[in-house]
Amino acid sequence: MNISVIGTGYVGLVTGTCFAEMGHNVICVDIDEVKISNLKKGIMPIYEPGLEEMVVKNASENRLHFTTDIKHAAEKSTIHFIAVGTPPGADDAADLQFVQAVASQLGQTITADYNIIVDKSTVPVGTADKVSTIISQEFNKRDFSGEFDIVSNPEFLKEGTAIDDFMNPDRVIIGADSDRSRRLMHNLYAPFSPSHDCILIMGIRGAEMTKYASNAMLATKISFMNEIAELCEKLDVDIEDVRLGMGSDTRIGYEFIYPGCGYGGSCFPKDVKALERMAVENDVPSHVLNAVESRNQRQKERLFVKIRQFYNGNVTGKTFCLWGLAFKPGTDDMREAPSLQIITDLVNAGAKIQAYDPVAKETASIDIPDEWLADGRITIMDDQYQALESSDALILATEWKQFRNPDFNYIKEKLNDPVIFDGRNQYDPQLMADLGISYSGIGRSNQL
């Protein structure tokens, strides 16, 4: 098939690349000339394991192309994926200006007798209707008689494993209202699951809602577990025992019940807020969603509370080694990262930070205030152990694999105060006690 993907951010680039990998002809479009120029050279705008190799391979084999010319892409394609950003607006509702702009451009430029326009971006219920209206209006302006269908096809990619998620999906949601679009979209995705049919066909509005409801449920599990973890600290209960006991119940499972210093990223925070806004607009109380968001904000602040308590309320002049900046391992994404809250709280309290992350150094430098980097209030190091030099304590904010089994004797030797604040519960409190290292995790017993 001939496919255009408008937007070469995280979702669009992975989507276009994986379709090309399966043999389709794909044109990826973006208004960012520098990004397109770099992609043609094999330079990625994001870090995602396996993506660079797949982009270079398919571009060299002439199946994957990059351009800033949406007219060219629209004329050469019959299936058009809209994969542009839907950032939260001032009222936390999803901002659809970029989606609507692309819809207008497609309506002005597509030429095939029949086209499918696919909403790949995360969009509120009813967006497909708006896109359809815009395209119809543009068709009428130029007296174009072509037919089209709108499809909702939300993405369920996890940063760090996005290639495998796309190539081996656990489910593909297709919201479509015509037999023709259902058939073509099913044919497009069928090769990704040859051993079993994981394609779920439903109405457009149902597909739009499924994306938001899925992310909100996962965020709810995280916030619930974080709240239980704080209660466990008060009751001298080890949350790890509770987690294992809960997860063994197949109705609950082990996924997304790891307590920590809060969730971040481009999806959960934005989508929970957008779903809250949809509830408000439709006069539906959103007690659960409000609680999920407020608990997550509290959780991002928990490590600072623990640190301040350890130092009797005064961290002025202290230097902290911070391991992990990205919101999760496997990505350089700093959006809504808990590390940013930790950094802000510590710097505002008069402390300094020496941070290290395997891949997020450049993206973190964009999100951290320039003056903090310039005057040394935060320094991003090139080595995890280098960040320990002259530090008072160690903070773990992102559970990269290389942080899981560090040299604890070296850590103890280098820290002025041998203490670890573990925001991801990676270390055994008993082992830390045996090594003579003070330890504070999230909901763990046998800690300071």
CB 80 within 8 A of CB 110: yes
Q: Give the separation between CA 31 and CA 261, rounded to whole angstroms.
A: 36
Query: How many C-beta atoms lie closer than 10 Å to residue 29's C-beta?
Result: 29
Q: In angstroms, rounded to a whole number, what is the distance separating the alpha carbons of residues 100 and 434?
A: 60
Amino acid in the structure at residue 380: I
pLDDT at 194: 82
At 440, list the tokens. Answer: 């504070």
Contact 317, 341 (CB under 8 A): no
| Strand, coil or helix: 34 | helix
Distance CA 256, CA 254 (A): 6
Measured from the Cβ of residue 245, the count of other Cβ atoms closer than 10 Å reads: 10
CB atoms within 10 A of CB 105: 20
Got the DSSP string for 152-204? E------TTSHHHHHHS-S-EEEE-SSHHHHHHHHHHHGGG-TTS--EEEE-H
Angle between the N-to-C axes of helices 268-281 and 204-235, in degrees from 0 to 180, rounded to the nearest 10:
110
Provide the whole-model pTM: 0.92
Cα maximum dimension of the chain: 78
Residue 7 falls in which region: left (phi positive, over 0), alpha (psi -120 to 50) or beta? left
Encoded amino acid at 254, one letter: Y
DSSP H/E element including 79 = strand 79-82
Strands 2-6 and 79-82, bridge-based pairing: parallel
Going residue by residue through the chain, which has 448 residues, state the pLDDT in tens, using 9 for 90 and above.
999 999 999 999 999 999 999 999 999 999 999 999 999 999 999 999 999 999 999 999 999 999 999 999 999 999 999 999 998 888 888 899 999 999 999 999 999 999 999 999 999 999 999 999 999 999 999 999 999 999 999 999 999 999 999 999 999 999 999 999 999 999 999 999 887 789 999 999 999 999 999 999 999 999 999 999 999 999 999 999 999 999 999 999 999 999 999 999 989 999 999 999 999 999 999 999 999 999 999 999 999 999 999 999 999 999 999 999 999 999 999 999 999 999 999 999 999 999 999 999 999 999 999 999 999 999 999 999 999 999 999 999 999 999 999 999 999 999 999 999 999 999 999 999 999 999 999 999 866 6
Nearest to 179 by CA among 169, 187, 189: 187
Give the model confidence (pLDDT) of 347-391 as tens digits: 999 999 999 999 999 999 999 999 999 999 999 999 999 999 999
Instruction: Give the tens place of pLDDT for each residue, 248-294.
Output: 999 999 999 999 999 999 899 999 999 999 999 999 999 999 999 99
Cα Rg, the chain, nearest whole Å: 24
State the catalytic residues.
267
The reported pLDDT for the residue numbered 445 is 80
User: What are the backbone dihedrals phi and psi of residue 141, each rounded to the nearest 5 degrees, phi first?
Assistant: -60, -35
Tokens (6 digits) for 104 = 């207008």
Tokens of 278: 């949809």
Contact of 46 with 332, CB cutoff 8 Å:
yes
Phi, psi of 145 (to 5 degrees): -100, 10
